[in-house]
Amino acid sequence: MAQNSTRPVGRHFLQIPGPSPLPDRVMRAIDNPIIDHRGPEFAKLAKRCFDGIKTIFKTTNPVIIYTATGTGAWEAALVNTLSPGDRVLMAETGQFSSLWKKMAENLGLKPEFIPTDWRTGADPSAVEAYLRKDTNKEIKAVCVLHNETSTGCLTSIKDIRKAIDAAGHPALLMVDTISSLASADYRHDEWGVDVSVGGAQKGLMLPPGMSFNAVSDKALAANKTAKLPKSFFSWQEMINMGKQGFFPYTPATQMLYGLAVGIDMLHEEGLDNVFARHDRLGEATRRAARAWGLDILCKDPKFHSPTITAVLLPEGHNADQFRSLALEHFNISYGASFGPYAGKYFRIGHLGDINEGTLIGALGITEMALGVAGIPHKKGGVQAAMDYLVSTHTGAKRAAAE
Ligand SMILES: *Cc1c(COP(=O)(O)O)cnc(C)c1O
């Protein structure tokens, strides 16, 4: 944008880790006349969505679609399976795990935290040890985030499942996959997850306002005896009406148009290609940060998130000020910082409908903004990211083979 101009020129760089930018195709799909949500045309649309979303969670069981943000689906997971006073084990990985725990408390559950320093994912061996001590099997659920959006740490859900099994514990496994679904490999059935919580506005490339519960047979059985009060979020009526392609109340029709197309787009690209794209963009971002000489909040590579990278600024530099400066001068939005590291890092989201060009643009802006802000850093971050993207490009591999 022109210096000293008050009008932001060109497109806004929305680099927060959700909501992510809407693809034009999704926007056009949403831009449709409203239809009767009790009519035959709606039932066809809903069935497309109910069938399609199963392929994203990789489950053969029903997936419940809520007209609510991800926070609503968090609540749905808890109230549909648990009873007042139930003990729940949660892994403290950052801000979002803390919010889910607070919600559990508000609902009358007894959540317990396995703490971390907010720089790693959940530790399966700590989960196993905790469950082994629960000899009376009082803990009713283990709740973990697949991707902790506030820190950029991804937890291996397969390993958490193994830990619960190794402890021989019957607790339900509930996983928040809001900022990883449709960006990182996720397998609800194969990994033995009982309730998966998803959201629309991150990897699924939709506007905010829709969320999901994928469920296991064990979760459906728990639902029959769960005593926490529920009404809007109650699974049973949603599942029953869903079989006919309907909802108990007026759903977000326009969002369903978007969802159907978003799912089509993911399958046209191929889910494995979607995951590989996010992996590459994540690694390119981390290479840029390292070349700048800046630390990545997620300190162990085994937890690095493919959808968001949290970058620490040097001591004495305020990340919130950096974010407002970058917004003012370069029309870019980054994610904020939380908890013990509030003000110390900013987050670059690299999820959803994002390609190499968008990422390099965002990293280029970031390098310029670091310069304008007078934050000590080395040059060459963008170059390091480009070098990595070129060396791992399928085009480069093909050219080498010829
Ligand atoms: C975004 C997010 C949430 C909250 O979802 P809302 O749609 O804002 O209610 C919860 N958990 C994780 C991991 C998230 O990234």
**Which atom from ligand 1 is nearest to the alpha carbon of 17?**
15
Q: Is 145 in the pocket of ligand 1 (CB under 6 A)?
A: yes
**Which atom from ligand 1 is nearest to the alpha carbon of 18?**
1
Distance 93 CA to ligand 1 centre (A): 14
Helix (H) or strand (E) holding 279: helix 271-292
Each of the 402 residues of the chain gets a pLDDT tens digit; together they read: 445 567 778 889 999 999 999 999 999 999 999 999 999 999 999 999 999 999 999 999 999 999 999 999 999 999 999 999 999 999 999 999 999 999 999 999 999 999 999 999 999 999 999 999 999 999 999 999 999 999 999 999 999 999 999 999 999 999 999 999 999 999 999 999 999 999 999 999 999 999 999 999 999 999 999 999 999 999 999 999 999 999 999 999 999 999 999 999 999 999 999 999 999 999 999 999 999 999 999 999 999 999 999 999 999 999 999 999 999 999 999 999 999 999 999 999 999 999 999 999 999 999 999 999 999 999 999 999 999 999 999 887 788 887
CA separation for the pair 50, 369 (Å, rounded): 43
Please, are residues 155 and 186 in contact by the beta-carbon 8 Å criterion? no
Please, are residues 278 and 184 in contact by the beta-carbon 8 Å criterion? yes
Q: What's the pLDDT at 5?
A: 63
- N-term to C-term CA, the chain: 42
| Collapsed DSSP state (helix, strand, coil) of residue 142 | strand
Q: What's the pLDDT at 402?
A: 78
Q: Is 103 in the pocket of ligand 1 (CB under 6 A)?
A: no
Site to probe by mutation for ligand 1, drawn from 75, 144, 149 as the one with most ligand atoms within 8 Å of Cβ, is 149
Site to probe by mutation for ligand 1, drawn from 74, 96, 144 as the one with most ligand atoms within 8 Å of Cβ, is 96
pTM: 0.97
Q: How many Cα atoms occupy the beta-carbon half-sphere of 183 within 13 Å?
A: 36
Please, are residues 334 and 369 in contact by the beta-carbon 8 Å criterion? no
Alpha-carbon Rg of the chain, whole angstroms?
22
CA separation for the pair 174, 171 (Å, rounded): 9
> Tokens for 32?
């449709």
Name the residue with the closest Cα to ligand 1, atom 5: 70
CATH of 24-267, one of 3.40.50.720, 3.30.365.10, 3.40.30.10, 3.40.640.10: 3.40.640.10
**Which atom from ligand 1 is nearest to the alpha carbon of 211?**
7
Q: Is 178 in the pocket of ligand 1 (CB under 6 A)?
A: yes
Q: Is 199 in the pocket of ligand 1 (CB under 6 A)?
A: yes
Q: What's the pLDDT at 1?
A: 46
CA separation for the pair 233, 220 (Å, rounded): 14
Please, are residues 23 and 206 in contact by the beta-carbon 8 Å criterion? no
Query: Is domain 13-17+270-401 in CATH 3.90.1150.10, yes or no?
Result: yes
Helix (H) or strand (E) holding 349: strand 345-349
Q: What's the pLDDT at 311?
A: 98
Q: Is 96 in the pocket of ligand 1 (CB under 6 A)?
A: yes
Site to probe by mutation for ligand 1, drawn from 178, 307, 347 as the one with most ligand atoms within 8 Å of Cβ, is 178
Q: What's the pLDDT at 7?
A: 77
- Minimal CA–CA distance to 286: which of 275, 295, 274, 277? 295
Token pair 């989201």: residue:
349
Q: What's the pLDDT at 397?
A: 77
Q: What's the pLDDT at 4?
A: 59
Distance 208 CA to ligand 1 centre (A): 10
Domain boundaries, the chain: 13-17+270-401, 24-267
Distance 97 CA to ligand 1 centre (A): 10
**Which atom from ligand 1 is nearest to the alpha carbon of 71?**
9
Residues 337-363 as b or e (16 or more Cβ within 10 Å = b)? bbeebeebbbbbbbbbbbebebbbbbb
State the angle between helix axes of 381-391 and 356-372 in degrees (0 to 180), rounded to the nearest 10.
160
